[in-house]
């Protein structure tokens, strides 16, 4: 994860929440009153967000001392102490909500991804995410997918060409779309083509696509069409795939399964925050 970008994001998030000052704590506690904040898992799942905890509190107060126990990607049980953070209680309370919101979301994504990965165990298929992320949070959400055992699809519109139905319609055909792109980009940029029919598949192969996406196709259709794809072209299934049917897609033999729900329909991992007064700041 890019630490500089993370720090910039956290500063913006704190500005949104704290604004000109935390009037909840500043009028109740003295600036140097010490305390301890403990994050505890309230359910089983995959933890993700170590850097968020460390960088977040240090941005607010350089004297804060965080101790995070599980690594990113570790399985945690309900009741697990995730972190203990010692420092001025004003700083702990001011940063608690933003940091808790982020690690609950990241851990939820990692847990959902891990469940999908486990559903495909023993098959050739790898799980990856999509661009269906929360604006402003893509770096954190894609990092969480990796922590859960998945892979990242393209990070944006800048690192891979993905020709969808609208692009193809405006270009006139798959062949014309691929030819136009190949005439303009370098050889290091891959071209993915989304197909919905067998004719589209054959045309994408002839046009020289690097990746072919079976979009909203059934497992039966993919099984029938997959032998038509040369080994050097990667294959991907996407659309209409759920946790209930993902195994049937994985067993078709596709290389990749991309899942939008990893980052748009997950459940957060419930984590509680307990703040206590202490006699002194732990070093």
- Indicate the length of the chain as a whole number: 283
Q: Is 238 annotated as a binding residue?
A: yes
Q: Is 180 annotated as a binding residue?
A: no
Q: Is 58 annotated as a binding residue?
A: no
Q: Which of 30, 93, 89, 39 is nearest to 63 (CA)?
A: 89
Contact in structure between 145 and 262 (CB atoms under 8 Å): yes
Side-chain-side CA neighbours of 243 within 13 Å: the count stands at 12
| Active-site residue (options: 164, 176, 198, 206) | 164
CA–CA dist 210, 59 (Å, integer)? 43
Q: Is 118 annotated as a binding residue?
A: no
Contact in structure between 89 and 33 (CB atoms under 8 Å): yes
User: Is position 97 annotated as part of the catalytic site?
Assistant: yes
User: Is position 215 annotated as part of the catalytic site?
Assistant: yes
Q: Is 247 annotated as a binding residue?
A: no
- The CA–CA distances, whole Å, from 191 to 158, 160, 208, 215, 282 equal 12, 6, 9, 15, 54
User: Is position 126 annotated as part of the catalytic site?
Assistant: no
User: Is position 194 annotated as part of the catalytic site?
Assistant: yes
Q: Is 133 annotated as a binding residue?
A: no
Q: Is 71 annotated as a binding residue?
A: no
User: Is position 142 annotated as part of the catalytic site?
Assistant: no
| Active-site residue (options: 65, 126, 132, 182) | 132
| 155-170: b (≥16 Cβ within 10 Å) or e | eeeeeebbbeeebbee
CA–CA dist 72, 48 (Å, integer)? 5
DSSP 89-115: HHHHHHHHHHHHHHHHHHHHHHHHHHH
Task: For the chain, report the end-to-end CA distance as a whole number of angstroms.
Answer: 27
Backbone angles phi, psi at 252, to 5 degrees: -70, -25
Name the pairing type of β-strands 211-215 and 234-238. parallel
| Active-site residue (options: 22, 55, 215, 236) | 215
Residue 27 is given by DSSP the state T
| Active-site residue (options: 194, 203, 217, 236) | 194
Q: Is 190 annotated as a binding residue?
A: no
Question: Annotated binding residues, as ranges?
Answer: 97, 130-132, 154, 164, 194, 215, 238-240, 259-261
- Binding-site entries for substrate: 97, 130-132, 154, 164, 194, 215, 238-240, 259-261
- The catalytic residue positions are 97, 132, 164, 194, 215
């Amino acid at each position: 994860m890019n630490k500089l970008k993370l720090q910039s994001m956290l500063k913006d998030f704190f500005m949104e929440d704290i604004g000109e000052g935390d009037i909840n704590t500043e009028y109740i506690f003295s600036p140097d009153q010490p305390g301890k904040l403990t994050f505890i898992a309230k359910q089983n799942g995959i933890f993700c967000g170590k850097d968020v905890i460390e960088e977040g509190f240090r941005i607010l107060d350089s004297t804060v001392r965080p101790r995070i126990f599980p690594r990113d990607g570790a399985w945690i049980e309900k009741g697990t102490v995730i972190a203990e953070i010692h420092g001025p209680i004003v700083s702990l309370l001011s940063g608690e909500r933003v940091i808790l919101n982020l690690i609950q979301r990241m851990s939820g994504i990692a847990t959902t991804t891990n469940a999908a990965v486990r559903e495909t165990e023993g098959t050739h298929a790898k799980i990856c995410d999509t661009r269906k992320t929360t604006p402003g949070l893509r770096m954190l959400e894609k990092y969480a997918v990796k922590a859960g055992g998945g892979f990242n699809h393209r990070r944006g519109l800048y690192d891979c060409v993905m020709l969808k139905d609208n692009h193809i319609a405006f270009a006139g055909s798959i062949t014309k779309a691929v030819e136009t792109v190949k005439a303009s980009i370098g050889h290091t940029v891959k071209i993915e083509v989304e197909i919905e029919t067998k004719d589209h598949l054959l045309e994408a192969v002839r046009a020289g696509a690097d990746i072919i996406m079976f979009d909203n196709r059934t497992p039966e259709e993919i099984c029938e069409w997959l032998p038509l794809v040369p080994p050097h072209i990667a294959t991907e299934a996407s659309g209409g795939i759920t946790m209930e049917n993902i195994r049937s897609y994985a067993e078709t033999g596709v290389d990749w399964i991309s899942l939008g729900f990893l980052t748009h329909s997950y459940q957060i991992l419930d984590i509680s925050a307990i703040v206590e007064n202490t006699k002194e700041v732990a070093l």
